[in-house]
Structure 1
Amino acid sequence: MHQKNISRGSSYLSTATGKKRSRSSRSVKGKGIAIQGSHLRDSVENQEVKTTFIEDYEKFEEDVGEREDIMSEGKSSSPSPPVIPPSKKKKTSVVWECFPEDMIITIGDVRFVVCKFCNKRLKLQKIHSTTYLCPHMGQCVERKKAMGKQSSSKGQMLLNFQPIEENCPGLLTPPIVRSNAKYNHDMIREALAHMILIDELPFSFDEHISFNYFCSILQPLYERIGRKQVKSDCDRVVQAEAKQLKKFFKELRKISVTTDLWKSDAQNIEYMVITAHWVDQEWTLNKRIINFVHVPPPRNGETIAQALYNCFEDWGIQNKVFTITVDNASMNDKCIKSLKKDFKMDRSLVSGGNLFHIRCTAHIINLLVQDGINEIKDIIDKVRDNVKYVRASEVRQRDFASIAKICRIKERKLVLDCPTRWNSTYNMLNVALIFREVWPRYGAKDGNYLQYLPNEIEWKKLARVCDFLRVFNNDKEFDPVVASMVRSMIVKFDKYWGEVNLLMAVAIVMDPRYKLEFIKFVYPVLYGEYDAEIELDNLRHTLEELYHEYVELLSTDNPSLAPISQMESSTSYDSDIVLQWQAHRKKSQAKAVEKSELTMYLESDVFEFETSEGAKTKKFNVLHWWSVNQTKFPILSRMAAEILAVSISTVASENAFSAGGRVIDSYRASLAPKTVSMLMCGGDWIRAKHRVKKSIQI
């Protein structure tokens, strides 16, 4: 039995004659409480709690002594005036049930309230606010026990959670002892499945002893679920989310897709991830992983195309695919050609399929820079060998760091690049340049290192290259080192730019800050004056073609969106020739003054966001602008939403590979591809449902 003594003062009170007065105390005996669960049983024995209400203060000791003498002798006396004058307004806060007014005490000029359950003293604020008292009510163990006694009718009590008090916002949800407690095991299983999917945990997480101990303390009725049941629950949750997503896809008109391939090191098999992108009715950009499928060998264009088409059929979006974004692998070109044939037969391609194939711009930039830095490959190899040499030994790293400290360089760690990624190589070169003063000093200390040491001219070349890569400058005047890089990059740029510039130009026109004005300014720089006019005419033709296709498609679904020129006149011709002529004249005038939404949009001025009210506080949201102006441009706004939803890189799909590496680790290499797909897709959907954002690591 544990006894708890609460002392209210550091010494005994003295009477007016100098005699010490013993502290008054009282004993509180509680009822035995049995907390029952499936595998946990605990009991709280009868205990005696000694408490005191008398504080160590000398100013009122004589008055306190007189009160106790009167009470002990049983004599009646007139009550002393209250410390706080009674308020005319009735106190309605629930805190006064825990801190009654008759237990308010005063020490000097400070007044305190005392909890009637645990006798804890809290300072009373002058403004008579009660919000700060609420947290104690939620944490007071004695109060929970008292509430349990009141709610128990059979003498046996169970832990449960009560809702938050509405008139006491700071009151936490306290677990109390009740006889009518409810435990929903199905909801617990569903919540655990969500946790497994969101945090990428193994199915056996539920079998951990520490987790079960925590849950049993949190809820005595908790029952261990088991990994087989957890896997089954996760599958049911994913199936339910897939059903809702399919229902949502039925309401969409067009969906853009990105895809990429990834090989699992743990399983040594290759997966293909397919991600869908769209703008919903609330003008919010969304993306979901709709498949993470194993592609068996041999992997060629036809195999990938068949896997993509099967996925589209399973989701019922085979006639809704707007664009497909892939990397620059040759088998992807064959895949897109095969899919184009199938979609052209269904007549579901927009603009004749000119916008269907989107090359990943991130891969294009990587190829451009890789071709450029190949011009200084020998110098980069030297730097890479430097970094490898120092990082190969802990002693070398310590010596290198000590020299850097002497040179007052804050950077302490060298970076080794991934040769296939230009940004990784740039980071390695940039960090190596920071240690430019350290390298020769380290070479003087380590004789074996001199064979890797770059000379001063090579360091200067690297500095110029890093400056170029930092800003990715397009100036025409370069020094000889950078000029050779630019020539190699222009060759690769011309190879791929012609296939991606059209969609990017259309997307720029859909931005009200730029429209065609920006294209007219940039095209002469990219193509020259003569070719710029040809490219500009091609862009105008594509815009007109796209707009008319959207007019036909949307007017079929909603005839009210069709322009007047496409609507049949509802006026019935009268036999009178004059009435017929008047109706014909009105129709001709309507055709003459009618302008398409695209024409009105392009003829209007560009949106000056820099001078608007929100420019200083937030970034421009082009989707929000179209949502505000959708009543003015009902057809063009839907066209803009589907164009702006197109992803020009496969980064969204590649991001799933980082999660795939965590899901398929060395301990779970035996997972079936179907289970991996369930975990990857379900984790993405549940995180989106709970609005959980994970950091993107590329």
Structure 2
Amino acid sequence: MKDESIESNKFLCGDCPTRWNSTYETLKRVVDLRSIFFKYEEDDTNYERELSREPGARAPGHDDFGVAERMVNFLEKFKDTTESVSASTKPLAHLFFSELLDIDTHLRQWACDVGYCDMVSSMRTKFDKYWGKLDELNDYMYFTVLLDPTMKKDFMRHCFKSIVTNNMDQDVPLSKYEIDKKVSDMVDGVETRMEGLFKRYEGMIGKVGHNSGSQESQSKENVDKRLGKNSFVSKWRSVEENSSSASESELVRYLCEPKLNWSKSFDILKWWKQNKERFPSVARMVRGKLLTFSLYLNFKLL
């Protein structure tokens, strides 16, 4: 390694048949240290003879390292995704849906490769067994996407559009209008079901906030005094407030706000902590779903 000017603390490791990621690690290290193999071949006359002892075995050539490097590129996506969804120190539930779609896209791309199509086909079968119907997953997986202020319905539309486009009959393709209509119906369906869950959380907040009613009443009385008991203004305010609360729930207000621009430093829990006064019931959903559902999915995927 010193002769080849390679600075690394890595050593070759054996492949473990019960751990697929060991295959990635083995091949990655072999590819990174390929020049060392060629250096051994030049300097050690016993190198090729030692590696050719077993029937069918031989010293690796340039083509072999090319094959290994391509396999590393294929497996790297699974390695990165596994590490991403296995973290235990941060909420991850809002990312699972996008990770599944990323794997789905990765398999579709490699299915077109002649050298990988058979292997990808068997992997696709197993993937579809658990996650194939990406438009029929547990609703909580969709809800957590909507609860991410950097994604919301914009990203949900993008996800469903990808699913509809990939799964439609290519012999009878849908028009752009039909795709958009189907996607819109799917997103609306998720939002409607989420509204049902929201109402339960809203009921919990209502019970907690019952004791604050006297404070609100006192505040209203102070406003009335300041306006000189102006019945005309009071009637207008009453109608306006009732109309607003009836037509727009807290959840709808949150979803209708423009999504935030994502950055590496964005902390979803910190954002909700800062905005829990604006969306108390939705924030309660976040505390419940982004944390407990993350733990559930981590357990299920490992």
Do residues 425 (structure 1) and 32 (structure 2) align?
A: no
For 1:619-643, what per-residue CA distance to the aligned partner results, in whole angstroms no more than 9, with x for missing partners? 2111121121111111111111211
CA distance in 1, matches of 2:267, 2:164: 30
Equivalent of 1:504, from 118, 138, 141?
141
Equivalent of 1:603, from 235, 238, 256?
256
Relative to 1, partners in 2 of residues 1:486 and 1:630: Cα closer, same or farther, differing over 3 Å? same
Q: Any conservation in 1 of the 2:205–2:280 contact (CA below 8 Å)?
A: no
Give 2:74's aligned amino acid.
F
Quote the residue 2:51 is aligned against.
449
What 5-or-longer segments of structure 1 have no aligned partner?
1-403, 563-582, 655-697
User: How high is the TM-score relative to the length of structure 1?
Assistant: 0.29
- Give matches, 1:366-377, under 5 Å: none
Do residues 435 (structure 1) and 33 (structure 2) align?
A: yes
Q: Any conservation in 2 of the 1:511–1:622 contact (CA below 8 Å)?
A: yes
Q: Any conservation in 2 of the 1:464–1:482 contact (CA below 8 Å)?
A: no
| Higher share of residues assigned helix | 2
Relative to 1, partners in 2 of residues 1:559 and 1:434: Cα closer, same or farther, differing over 3 Å? same
- Give matches, 1:530-679, under 5 Å: 532-533=183-184, 535-559=186-210, 590-594=241-245, 595-608=248-261, 610=263, 619-648=265-294
For 1:270-317, what per-residue CA distance to the aligned partner results, in whole angstroms no more than 9, with x for missing partners? xxxxxxxxxxxxxxxxxxxxxxxxxxxxxxxxxxxxxxxxxxxxxxxx
- Give matches, 1:176-575, under 5 Å: 404-411=1-8, 413-439=11-37, 441-442=40-41, 445-446=46-47, 447-450=49-52, 451=54, 452-453=57-58, 454=60, 456-471=62-77, 474=105, 476-478=108-110, 479-497=113-131, 498=134, 502-528=139-165, 529=179, 532-533=183-184, 535-559=186-210
User: How high is the TM-score relative to the length of structure 2?
Assistant: 0.61
Q: Following TM superposition, by how much is the alpha carbon of 1:516 offset from its aligned partner in structure 2, in angstroms?
A: 1.0
SS in 2 for 1:646: helix
What 5-or-longer segments of structure 2 have no aligned partner?
79-101, 166-178, 214-233
Give 1:625's aligned amino acid.
W
- Give matches, 1:21-100, under 5 Å: none
Give 2:46's aligned amino acid.
K
CA distance in 1, matches of 2:252, 2:297: 35
Q: Any conservation in 1 of the 2:150–2:261 contact (CA below 8 Å)?
A: yes
The higher relative CO (CA closer than 8 Å, separation ≥ 6) is in: 2
Give 2:277's aligned amino acid.
T
Relative to 1, partners in 2 of residues 1:466 and 1:507: Cα closer, same or farther, differing over 3 Å? same
CA distance in 2, matches of 1:488, 1:637: 42
Q: Following TM superposition, by how much is the alpha carbon of 1:424 offset from its aligned partner in structure 2, in angstroms?
A: 2.4
SS in 1 for 2:34: coil
For 1:414-453, what per-residue CA distance to the aligned partner results, in whole angstroms no more than 9, with x for missing partners? 1224333332221111001223344464585242321433
Q: CA RMSD in A?
A: 3.7
For 1:449-475, what per-residue CA distance to the aligned partner results, in whole angstroms no more than 9, with x for missing partners? 214335554432221121122245735
**What is the aligned-residue identity percentage?**
25
CA distance in 2, matches of 1:552, 1:608: 31
| Higher share of residues assigned strand | 1
CA distance in 1, matches of 2:186, 2:138: 10
Q: Any conservation in 2 of the 1:597–1:633 contact (CA below 8 Å)?
A: yes
CA distance in 2, matches of 1:485, 1:584: 71
Q: Any conservation in 1 of the 2:250–2:281 contact (CA below 8 Å)?
A: yes
SS in 1 for 2:200: helix
SS in 1 for 2:292: coil
CA distance in 1, matches of 2:151, 2:130: 24
CA distance in 2, matches of 1:511, 1:488: 34
For 1:224-249, what per-residue CA distance to the aligned partner results, in whole angstroms no more than 9, with x for missing partners? xxxxxxxxxxxxxxxxxxxxxxxxxx
Which has the higher Rg, Structure 1 or Structure 2? Answer: 1
Give 1:637's aligned amino acid.
A
Give 1:559's aligned amino acid.
H
Give 1:513's aligned amino acid.
T
Quote the residue 1:179 is aligned against.
none
Give 1:420's aligned amino acid.
T
For 1:563-595, what per-residue CA distance to the aligned partner results, in whole angstroms no more than 9, with x for missing partners? xxxxxxxxxxxxxxxxxxxx9998776443221
For 1:122-172, what per-residue CA distance to the aligned partner results, in whole angstroms no more than 9, with x for missing partners? xxxxxxxxxxxxxxxxxxxxxxxxxxxxxxxxxxxxxxxxxxxxxxxxxxx
Relative to 1, partners in 2 of residues 1:501 and 1:468: Cα closer, same or farther, differing over 3 Å? farther
Relative to 1, partners in 2 of residues 1:527 and 1:461: Cα closer, same or farther, differing over 3 Å? farther
Give 1:543's aligned amino acid.
M
SS in 2 for 1:645: helix
CA distance in 2, matches of 1:639, 1:588: 30
Q: Any conservation in 1 of the 2:152–2:255 contact (CA below 8 Å)?
A: yes
Give 2:261's aligned amino acid.
E
Give 2:201's aligned amino acid.
Y
Relative to 1, partners in 2 of residues 1:486 and 1:539: Cα closer, same or farther, differing over 3 Å? farther
CA distance in 1, matches of 2:185, 2:130: 18
